[in-house]
Structures are given as C-alpha cells and as structure tokens.
Homo-oligomer: A and B are copies of this chain.
Amino acid sequence: MVTTTSYVTNVKSTVHFSCISNQHRSHLNTKLKSTTLRMSMTQTPYWASLHADIEAHLKQTITIKEPLVVFEPMHHLIFTAPKTTVPALCLATCELVGGQRHQAISAASALLLMEAATYTHEHLPLTDRPRPMINHVYGPNMELLTGDGIVPFGFELLARSDGGENSERILKVMVEISRAVGSGGGVIDAQYGKILYSGSDGEEKCHVEEIRHVVEKYEGRLHSCGAVCGGVLGGGCEEEIERLRKFGYYVGIIQGMIKWGFKEDHKEVVEARNLAIQELKFFKDKEVDAIKTFLNI
C-alpha cells in the first residue's frame, strides 16, 4: 500500500513534498505523519461495487493475447496503477440522473485507462528525473510506449461503445475527457505546474496554495469530468450536468487534498464538502445517499 502524509495544520504553512509524484513522496517534513493513501472512499461497498464492474469490463476487453510483448505490459500497467475515485464517480452520476450503469461503463473504463497511462508516464525514468521513484517491471522504453498505447485504446473503447443511437453523447464525453486529461486546464497543466514548483532534484518546498492549485487542475478537473460524463451518458439534462460538474470538482478537491495529506477536518476539505452537498440539493427527488459516500461521509 502506498503511503502519504496527513496533518497539515495551516493553509499558509510550507510543507516539503516531492512535487513530481502524487503517489510517492518519501521525503517528508518530519512534522507530517504517515497514513494510508487513497481515501477511505475506496473502502465503501458502493465504490467497491462500481469499481469491480469497471475492472470486470476492462478485463473482458483487454485480454492478454498475441503479441504478448504488447498486451502483457499493457495489462500489467493498467491493473496495477493506483485505484482512484474518478471512474466510479462516472458510473455513480450516471445512476444518479436515472441512467443504467452499463451506459457509462465505457467512459468509466476510458477514464481508468487515462489515469493508468498518466501514472505510468509520471513515473517514467527520464534523464532529468534521476531518482527511480517506483519499482519498474518494464524498461523505460516499454513503459513509455505502453502509456502511449493505452490512451488511444481508451478513446477507441469509447468510440466503439455506440450502437448507433448515442453518438452525439459519446462525442460530447470525448471532448470532456480530452480536455481533462490533456492541456485544457487539466492533468497536463497540473503536471506542468508540478515541474514549475519543483526544484532541480524534484523536491522543494510546496506552499499549500500550490498544492491546492495542482489538486484543482488534477483531481478537481478529473473528478469533474468523470461526473459530467456519467451525467451525459445517463441522460441528464443540462442543468443536472452542470451541477454534477461542480459536484465532481468538489469531490476531486476533497479526495485530492486528503491524498496530499490534509486531514478530513481541514477547513479546505470541510468547505469543499459543504459546497458539494449544496450541489446535491438540486437532486432532491433522487436517491443521493450512495453518491454522498464520495464525500467521505
């Protein structure tokens, strides 16, 4: 299990992080104590049920076949990347607006694939990233290529999920995913931000504001995207989708800040939770208890 930190006492305080990786930070301020990464959310039965469906769909889709040199690393890197709440949130919002889980399963799977590719490339041993940050089963060249292969596969999965009646919704979802995982104020921007904040050795003092900025772009944007995709594919109306966009964003802030080591009762986490609950009030005729578990309540 990957570990990270908790206990950041002050928004204005400065904490030592490796800004290169969200998942692995071994050089930590001694004030910070270690705790389990990846939100308690992933221990709830609802998340587990959603995530199991996505993994089952992917396992059915990505069989280990010839050429093994291509599919074996792809399979390995997809299923060993850290689990997140993004793909499951996509299914959850689909259900919230009255859709069936299967309607959003390809989008949720595509989101999982994008995150796996990002994780793989984030830990690639480049010549300007001197320290190996995780154990690598494959060589850098293979990991680079595999990441490069996973992304188009995600888009393919989504593109061919249409039976012919849903193509406009799927294209809408593709634009959302492309922007969130690309340079549209999402993952790539967050990663650029991390490079800028980091020193030459990949370490530095990151201000809480900078962490918040990265979390907004990264987890905020991805969760927002996941929530919108589920809403679109579940047949939500425009107002519902825009509410879900904001709800997803706050879910991302909560999950991201906790991942970076902030406590559940930190004021930024509490504030995001309250704002998320406000958005859910729009769905007063719906069953919202299940999706509330994404707020760690």
Q: A59 on the interface (CB 8 Å rule)? A: no
- Residues of the B chain whose Cβ atoms lie less than 8 Å from the Cβ of A183: 70-71, 74, 149, 152-153
* Interface magnitude class on chain A: 35 or more
Docked Cα-Cα span, A30 to B67, in Å, equals 34
The reply to whether A177 and B164 form a contact with Cβ atoms under 8 Å apart is no
- Residues of the B chain whose Cβ atoms lie less than 8 Å from the Cβ of A192: 67, 69-70, 142, 145
Contacts known (A126-B124, A140-B127, A156-B178); A145 close to B188, Cβ less than 8 A: yes
The reply to whether B125 and A70 form a contact with Cβ atoms under 8 Å apart is no
Docked Cα-Cα span, A178 to B179, in Å, equals 17
Q: A204 on the interface (CB 8 Å rule)? A: no
Most B Cβ at <10 Å: residue of A117, A150, A171:
A171
A-side interface residues toward B, CB under 8 Å? 67, 69-71, 74, 117-118, 121, 124-129, 139-142, 144-145, 147-153, 155-156, 159-160, 162, 164, 167-168, 170-172, 174-175, 177-179, 181-184, 188-189, 191-192, 195-196
Top 5 A-B residue pairs of the complex, sorted by shortest distance between their CB atoms: A152-B182, A156-B178, A167-B167, A159-B174, A126-B140
4 other A-B residue contacts (CB within 8 Å) besides A67-B189, A149-B182: A126-B141, A127-B127, A128-B139, A153-B182
